[in-house]
Amino acid sequence: MAWRATWQFGLILVGVLLSGCGNASRMDDAPVPDLAVPEAGRAATLSLACSGCHGPAGGAIAGLENYSAEQLQSEMMRYKTEPEGNSVMHRMMRGYSHEDIEAIAAYLGAEQAE
Amino acid sequence: MSPLYHSRRQLLQGLAGAALLSQMALPALAQTRARLVVVGGGFGGASAAGAMKHLMPAASVTLVEASPHYYACPFSNLVIAGLRELDAQRFDYDGLTARGVEVVHDRAVDVDSIAHTVRLASGDQLAYDKLVLSPGIDFLWDAIEGYGREAVERMPHAWKAGGQTGLLRQKLEAMDDGGQVVMAIPPAPFRCPPGPYERASLIAHYLKAHKPRSRLLLLDAQDSFSKQPLFEQAWAEHYPDHLERYGAADFARVVSVDPDHMVLTTEFDDFRADVANVIPPQKAGEIAQRAGVADATGWCPIDPLSFASTLQTDIHVIGDATIAAPMPKSAFSANLQAKLCAVQIARVLGGLGPEPTILTNTCYSFISNDAAVSITGVYSNDAGRLQSVEGAGGLSPLNADPAIRTAEALQAETWFKTLTQAAFG
């Protein structure tokens, strides 16, 4: 899908809120808000929950900064679909649709592009 | 490169948990000069203040919190059981100040929702465009006869962390072997639904190790409780001689206490205690009543999309004070509600409406010094209320390999670090 291929989608809401913006250089321009892209808002709010546990603290819960969108999506889908899994992540991901998982992965994975 | 983007990247480097928020700073909203006031510096309020400043750097964000320090409740049961020091629970507000939040150490005593002002104990007034109340809980002092403010020295509640946490620990340490510890557990809803049972596990752990002829008696106003099968399995396995529980079906709700004689009275019997821990019934923090955002239940109804009060305009309520069930009154919930509330306030100030999303909760409870169990919930907010997503969430497995319990104890450590860093870092 086109939006997945556009790393700006995940980079910042600003990027997608600039109407028709397709390249990073526009970000240096004065912002012209276009508030008609609600999908980016949902990807962003969905991802807020992740930061409750996944941070820079280190230890037994992985930070998310070193994973690509593809890796994140594949891991989240594995958690969602393993029927016998009973870890916190297994129990959690069963509550997310495939579309939401794709959106979170694109949003968080793209962050590394910065 | 505008200064905004520059600082956004700097923030990205420096802020715990902010990576996920950093993408959301909308330039139009970033320029808002709105006056944003937050009351209450716990996991909810501290997180909300930080997130709003991050999303809207030109806005003035003021956090009102009476105490210069915050003592975290999660992990405080380990302190009571002698497995952790109270200092490890203590956080301050220097991190928020450094991030541009104005922190006012004063007590909010009233809110004028018409004039949009908060009155402080000092007499000062703060004007707001949007007010976020994160007042936590207060106790219903009249609910258990004899348990008023003066009783907490002899029968600590330890349900707000800090001095009370240390006091309960001291009383356990001073108790002779062979003594009886009695804990009174209130009816739901209360802060941290699994908290009393984690505390019971850890006190039993302490007794088994240090006062083996002693025992803990739970007088519980509830019949069923959070993580019940996991706790009951752990108690049968680890503490069969040190912990006994009576529930509501046994008429075990504590109706009165006599602190002078250390007696707790249920609907059918009196129990003498050498150490008593009375967790009183609760309501939203007092300022919620003053602001008119609490209803007849004592708690605060909210719009599940934005955590806006349904009773007053331009006031949002987050954390333990809210009616957000099935989302529990937990630090994790408060932190997530704070971040979501901040985003939705930014959207609304920018002319966007709040929009639905998925929320979660995860919390861990220790069943011994190095073993923990967890509960997970996933919630939608698009049907006018928060509701559990079917087929998701749940408990750690029963009859699990001990390695799973150890692994979850280690996860709990990271959970605590991440959550406290996100709120106070």
Q: Is B340 on the interface with A (CB under 8 A)?
A: yes
Closest alpha carbon within chain A to B1: A28
pLDDT digits (tens, 9 = 90+) for B158-197: 999 999 999 999 999 999 999 999 999 999 999 999 999 9
The position carrying tokens 């009816």 is B187
Chain segment A53-78, per-residue pLDDT in tens: 999 888 999 999 889 999 999 999 99
Residues B235-286 pLDDT 10s: 999 999 999 999 999 999 999 999 999 999 999 999 999 999 999 999 999 9
For B398-411, what is the mean pLDDT? Answer: 97
The structural domains of chain B, with segments of one domain joined by +, span: 3-136+285-353, 142-281
For B405, the closest chain A residue by CA position comes to: A87
DSSP SS3 for A62: coil
pLDDT for A23-61, tens place per residue? 333 333 323 222 322 335 788 899 999 999 999 888 999
CATH of the domain spanning B3-136+285-353: 3.50.50.60
Nearest CB to A59 within list B16, B376, B417: B417
B100: distance to nearest CA of chain A, Å? Answer: 21
Confidence of residue A112 (pLDDT cuts 50, 70, 90): low
pLDDT for the residue numbered B276: 98
Flag whether pLDDT at B347 surpasses 90. no
Q: How many residues does chain B have?
A: 425
**Burial category of A35 from C-beta neighbours within 10 Å (exposed 0-12, middle 13-18, buried 19 and up):** middle
Give B391's contacts in chain A (Cβ within 8 Å).
Answer: 94-95
Q: Which CATH class is domain B142-281?
A: alpha beta
How buried is A66 (Cβ within 10 angstroms: 0-12 exposed, 13-18 middle, 19+ buried)? exposed
The answer to whether the CB atoms of B414 and A61 lie below 8 A apart is: yes
d(CA B85, CA B87): 5
Instruction: Please tell me the predicted confidence (pLDDT) of residue B174.
Output: 98
Whole-angstrom distance, CA of residue B130 vs CA of residue A82: 44
Among residues B229, B25, B279, B181, which one has the least CA distance to residue A27?
A: B25
Average pLDDT over residues B312-319: 98
Residue B205 pLDDT exceeds 50:
yes
Residue range of the domain that includes A20: 2-53+62-113
The domains spanning B3-136+285-353 and B142-281 adopt the same CATH topology: yes
Domain count, chain A: 1
Nearest to B1 among A10, A28, A49 (CB): A28
Q: Does B387 touch chain A (CB under 8 A)?
A: no
CA distance B312 to chain A (A): 24
